[in-house]
Chains A and B, each alone.
Chain A
Amino acid sequence: MLETRHIDKYFLEPVKFHVLKDINIELQKGEFVSIMGKSGCGKSTLLYILSTMDTAYEGELWIDGDKMSDLTQNELARIRNEKIGFVFQFHYLLPEFTVLKNVMLPALKLGREDVEGIRARAMEKLEILGVSDQANKKAYRISGGQKQRVSIARALINDPKIIMGDEPTGNLDSKNSENVFNILKTLCDSMGMSLLVVTHDIDFAERTDRIIEMGDGTIL
């Protein structure tokens, strides 16, 4: 489903810095994998590359059988839209839009369905995450835990192949964190999605299929 071959990345500013060194990882369909490592070891940087947002790297990234470095920016945007759902550490929603609209936007962009169909499916996803009662509130009016669940609903809206999360539970208390884990786990099992989640939470990581340990820009 997802594979990297010899990925290297350098930061040139302020001084040249080899942040990722020869990264080779593989993620199977339906696999739930967590990435752990010390702060500053390059986990987020790796995730931005895997999510196709960052294209300034050496080596190859393959997603769902396609080589990403061959694609144009617009084609990459399409991949992100269709095949990847991303959950950020901070609740990244568009504040002036309603919760429902936030979830609908990626599907509206994809345009696979008409607006009514998209609205119904967005409600369905909000239902799964238990925040459907917030659907018509503006996104800046709901709590942090609710925002995190809404952003997971948004990541799910186009039924992506892979969900990536950068410390999606980092800002949540243990109860909410538990909740999010269960939701992700269920999705993985029932829908065959692959999950790749960066976390500091060892309890969380130990319940995933596999843990990738990172240290100083390399896979340990």
Chain B
Amino acid sequence: MIRFPLVFDISRTHLLSKIKQTTVASLGVTFGIGTYIILMGFMTGLNGLLDGLILNRTPHIQVFNKTTPSEIQPVERFNKATTDLHYVHSVKPKARLERIHNALPLLSELRRHQQVKGATPQTTAKVFYLAGANKLNGVLNGIQVREEIRLFNFKDYITEGDVLSLVRRKNSILLGAGIAKNLSLSVGDRIQVMSTNGTTFSLLVSGIFQSGLAEVDDVQSYISLPMAQQILGAGRNHITRLHVKLFEMADAVPLARTIETLYDLRALDIKTANAQFDTGSDIRNLISYAVSITLLLVAGFGIYNILNMFIYEKMNDIAILKATGFTGTDVKWIFITQAMVIGLLGGTMGLIMGYGVSIFIDNLPFITEALPTIKTYPINYDPLVYISGVAFALTSTFLAGYLPARKAQQIDPVEIIRGQ
């Protein structure tokens, strides 16, 4: 029978008599766990931020007109019955309108679908921004701004001005940050744009739009949907894109497939659109796990070494304990307890250190053009990271302690006593 209070008492005396080594070993665990928590908090925080950016802002499905050549060429329909091979060289997509055919009925159909949280129409108009003698290429997106805010956090992109001005004044424009800079315009100024058929419009800059991607911010601006249709000289049913947000992102792929089979349209799902983004997250996660596990392993080896040393120094104690009636199992637990105490102490300090440094990083300013709404570094305080950190500290110290403790269990007291 093992008497744990006694085992603990002996362990405590041993640890206190070697306070320096105990501290060093604990600090090893502290740094391992602390760094694990900081790294995971930071990395998952960053991933969460980027995920959030993508997931919150990107449509789950984008619907627009196809510009790929028809899969089945007319000759194949005509000569279907014959066994001849047909070669058609230099196949081109057929000319088609940019607008989606019957967009409004399709839009209300999508909005009624039970998996769909919402859908927004967009009309894209190619224009020139006029600046003195210069004409700059540009794209105006006509949007329903309230729906864009509700579904795609459109507000996050607006760094200056008032996003709802698009609703109040038909001729307002949320100007791309790059254009504003190039033409030295700011909120309240006016800008001339010329449509492809030569008509010019004067728009009021009521806000600045910044996505963080230079090639977007240098070209794109946002106006209200009716304004875009007016610039194109088209009617209310001229809609070039539909953006769909679902309740469950997982439904995006099958629903996009369904839309493509039902309508002669391209439906791009978020998985396909952001394939490389997923890979990025995965690799970041992989790296943080690899680094953390390496750190914890190093801490584990530290404990293993120090405990081996403890046992070497305590050979006499082990022999005496065994000679006076302690069993090998008692001795084993005396040393496992020491390892666990080191792990628990170091783990707790690691939690405190990890949490403290996380708070510190959380308050560091992090200003980047790409993420206009982010002011400090993102940190994730997921309790799971803390729990798994402590769990790992305890298991690794247990294992690191177990092997040397097994050796102590098997020490032959006669050999030690004879050796004196």
- Determine the chain B residues whose CB is within 8 A of the CB of A80 once the complex forms: 323-325
A73 sits at the interface (CB 8 A): yes
Residue of A nearest to B324 (CB): A106
The A85-110 residues at the B interface (CB cut-off 8 A) are 86, 88-90, 92-97, 101, 105-106, 108-110
A4 contacts B by Cβ under 8 Å: no
Name the distance in Å between A122's Cβ and chain B's nearest Cβ. 13
Contact A78 B325 (CB under 8 A): yes
Of the candidates A78, A92, A101, the one whose C-beta lies within 8 Å of that of B316 is A92
Residue contact B330 to A109, C-beta cutoff 8 Å: yes
Chain A contacts for B323, CB-based, 8 A:
51, 53, 80, 86, 88, 92
List of B residues within 8 angstroms of A81 by Cβ:
324-326
Nearest CB of A to B419, in Å = 10
Asked if A90 and B328 sit within 8 Å, CB to CB, the answer is: no
Chain B residues with a Cβ closer than 8 Å to the other chain, count: 28
Is A44 part of the contact surface with B, judged by Cβ < 8 Å?
yes
Tell whether A82 is near chain B: CB-to-CB under 8 Å.
yes
Pair A109/B414 contact, Cβ less than 8 Å: no
Which of A44, A94, A96 lies at the interface centre, i.e. has the most chain B CB atoms within 10 A of its CB?
A94
Specify the chain A residue showing the minimal Cβ separation from B16. A96
In chain B, positions 10-53 with a C-beta closer than 8 Å to chain A are: 10, 13-14, 16-17
Give the interface size bracket for A toward B.
20 to 34
Q: Which of A82, A88, A154, A158 lies in contact with B417, CB distance below 8 A?
A: A88
* B418 interface contact, C-beta 8 A: yes
- Once A105-B321, A109-B326 are accepted as A-B contacts, the answer to whether A92 and B417 lie under 8 Å apart by CB is yes
- The answer to whether A111 has its CB under 8 Å from any CB of chain B is yes
Asked if B324 and A111 sit within 8 Å, CB to CB, the answer is no
0 or 1 for each of A59-95: is its CB under 8 Å from B? (1 = yes) = 0000000000000011001111110001011101111
Whole-angstrom CA separation of A79 from B317 in the bound complex: 19
| Interface members, chain B 330-374 (any A CB < 8 Å) | 330
CB distance from A135 to the nearest CB of B (A): 16
Decide if B327 is an interface residue (CB 8 Å cutoff). Answer: yes
Contact A77 B17 (CB under 8 A): no
| Set of chain B residues within 8 Å of A97, measured between Cβ atoms | 13
B212 an interface residue at 8 Å Cβ cutoff? no
Known contacts: A48-B417, A74-B329. The answer to whether A94 contacts B320 by CB under 8 A is yes
Which residues on the A side are within 8 Å of B316 (C-beta)?
92
CB-based contact A154/B13 at 8 Å: no
Q: How far is the CA of A154 from the CA of B325 in the complex (A)?
A: 12
Contact in complex: A96, B325 (CB < 8 Å): no
Residues of B within 8 A of A48 (CB): 414, 417-418
A73-B328 Cα distance, complex, nearest whole Å? 8
The CA of A51 and the CA of B413, in the complex, are separated in Å by 11
CA distance in complex: A110, B324 (Å)? 10
Considering the chains assembled together, what is the distance between the CA atoms of A77 and B409 in angstroms?
13
Nearest B residue to A108 via CB reads B6
Known contacts A73-B327, A74-B328, A88-B420; 11 further A-B pairs (Cβ under 8 A): A51-B323, A74-B327, A80-B324, A80-B325, A81-B325, A86-B323, A90-B420, A105-B321, A105-B324, A109-B330, A158-B325
Query: Which A residues fall within an 8 A CB radius of B?
Result: 44, 48, 51, 53-54, 73-74, 77-82, 86, 88-90, 92-97, 101, 105-106, 108-111, 154, 158
- Of the A-B pairs whose beta carbons lie under 8 Å apart in the complex, a sample of 6, sorted by A's number, is A80-B324, A82-B325, A93-B320, A101-B13, A106-B324, A108-B6
